[in-house]
Amino acid sequence: MSIISNSLRRIKPSPTIAVTQKARELRAAGKDVIGLGAGEPDFDTPDNIKKAAIKAIKSGDTKYTAVDGTPALKKAIVRKFKKENKLNYSTDQITVGTGGKQVLYNTFMATLNHGDEVIIPAPFWVSYPDMVLLAGGKPKIVKCTEQEGFKLTAKKLDKAISKKTKWVILNSPSNPTGAGYTKKEIQELAKILIQNKRVYILSDDIYEHVKYDNFDFFTIAQIQKLKDRTLTMNGVSKSYAMTGWRIGYAAGPKDIINAIRKIQSQSTSNPSSISQAAAVEALNGPQGFIKKRSEAFKQRRDFVVKSLNSIKGISCLTPNGAFYVFPSCKGLLNKKTRLKTDTEFVQRLLEKSNVAVVQGSAFGLDGYFRISYATSMKNLKKAMERIKSFCESLY
């Protein structure tokens, strides 16, 4: 009899973390590996945010805080939603967790009963289905094609909803594709959701500020009829280059926020007091650097997309945001190349060319792979040269 729980057997380790760790191990062994697997900005946390953390340490702000966030951080989050999204919340509608990932995990643990369905558009962030499974729910994967821009359509949403549906997840801009839902597209989805009053919406907005080409960000809670059924998750990790600080937050219905607090009180308790002080400064302080960094990401995006589309057998859409591209490698999966799957493609790419990417099947859509361009142009130029040489060597 195994000591390991049955629930743990239902899930697998994060493929993106596994790829990143493999790249680290190969580099430690002396290999010149370029890792394009991690979704982490290569920019540093701004100095004003670091100084706020140092000030908190020096002033003795090192004790336990309220379980789900300090009053100061909750007030900063309330201001953020009002100023940037025209959404009005009170502080008791806000929760703060140890990263956006914990907020999502707490949400599913607090709300899902055995057999409850969660609609997850694919390609999806790798952790969504496993979190749902751990909480006893059932992921209902809806595949969204390249022709659909990798986005959920109203028609597919309507077809996927059943009597067991409890949540629908929307992630815009998306990990892994960078696809962003327009206001019109969200309004079309909203028409279906307004009709299905028992279904809740989880909006993952973590890449809200990493956007390009005048993309107009719009979040579904801005549709008034759905606000009371929407939990909007965000955080400081991507926009403020604070991945290691581990601060995520969400706004939504009080009963869900209270349930999340209860879960958190019996797991991690409060997030780091120092990180919370830094997050207050991040949200309240100067914001100009965000646009400048997005412009740098855009230059990288344009270079990577152009480079990939010049390679025989590879095709790549231009994303609206985030710092990922999700190119197709279907043109290279044939008898001539002796590659059958995207997993074989990424494994061979790592073995032969020392470039680490993540297979599309890990995100729920076969025949693709994800590249994170949150690294230097120097690395990206080397990586694109290696990918091109590898693909040409297959013929």
Q: Is the CB of residue 36 less than 8 Å from the CB of residue 355? A: yes
Domain boundary among 254, 284, 314: 284
Q: Do 299 and 177 share a structural domain?
A: no
In this structure, is residue 53 part of a structural domain? no
Which residues have CB under 8 Å from 237's CB, separation 6+?
A: 99, 100, 206, 243, 245, 246, 247, 248
Rounded Cα gap, residues 105 and 264, in angstroms: 10
Residue 122 resides in a domain: yes
Q: What is the mean pLDDT of residues 77-93?
A: 98
Q: Which two tokens stand for residue 167?
A: 């949540």
Three-state secondary structure of 34-54: EECCCCCCCCCCCHHHHHHHH
Do 293 and 237 lie in a common domain? no
d(CA 88, CA 82): 5
Q: Does the residue 280 lie in any domain?
A: yes
Q: What pLDDT score was predicted for residue 244?
A: 97
Count how many domains the chain has. Answer: 2
Question: Does residue 12 surpass a pLDDT of 90?
Answer: no
Residues 22 and 147 in one domain: no
pLDDT computed for residue 19 by the predictor? 73
**For residue range 126-164, what is the model confidence (pLDDT) as tens digits?**
999 999 999 999 999 999 999 999 999 999 999 999 999
pLDDT digits (tens, 9 = 90+) for 325-344: 999 999 999 999 999 999 99
Determine the angle formed by the axes of helices 127-134 and 100-111, rounding to 10 degrees.
40
Is the pLDDT score of 20 beyond 90? Answer: no
Beta strands (DSSP E) in 300-376 are 324-325, 355-356, 358-359, 369-372
Mean pLDDT for all residues in the chain:
96
Overall average pLDDT of the 283-293 stretch: 97
Q: Are residues 194 and 90 in the same domain?
A: yes
Among 253, 284, 315, residue at a domain's last position: 284
CATH number for position 35: 3.90.1150.10
Residue 50 belongs to a domain: no
Looking at the fold, whether 219 and 127 belong to one and the same domain comes out as: yes
Residue 129 lies in domain: 63-284
Task: Judge if 301 and 343 occupy the same domain.
Answer: yes
* Predicted confidence band of residue 251 (pLDDT cuts 50, 70, 90): very high
Confidence of residue 288 (pLDDT cuts 50, 70, 90): very high
Over residues 369-395, the mean pLDDT reads 96
Say whether both 73 and 204 belong to one domain: yes
Strand partners, 141: 120
Residue 3 confidence (pLDDT)? 85
pLDDT, tens only, 36-57: 988 899 999 999 999 999 999 9
Cα–Cα separations (whole angstroms), residue 33 to 19, 204, 308, 311, 327: 11, 31, 19, 21, 20
* pLDDT confidence of residue 34: 93
Same domain assignment for residues 227 and 121: yes
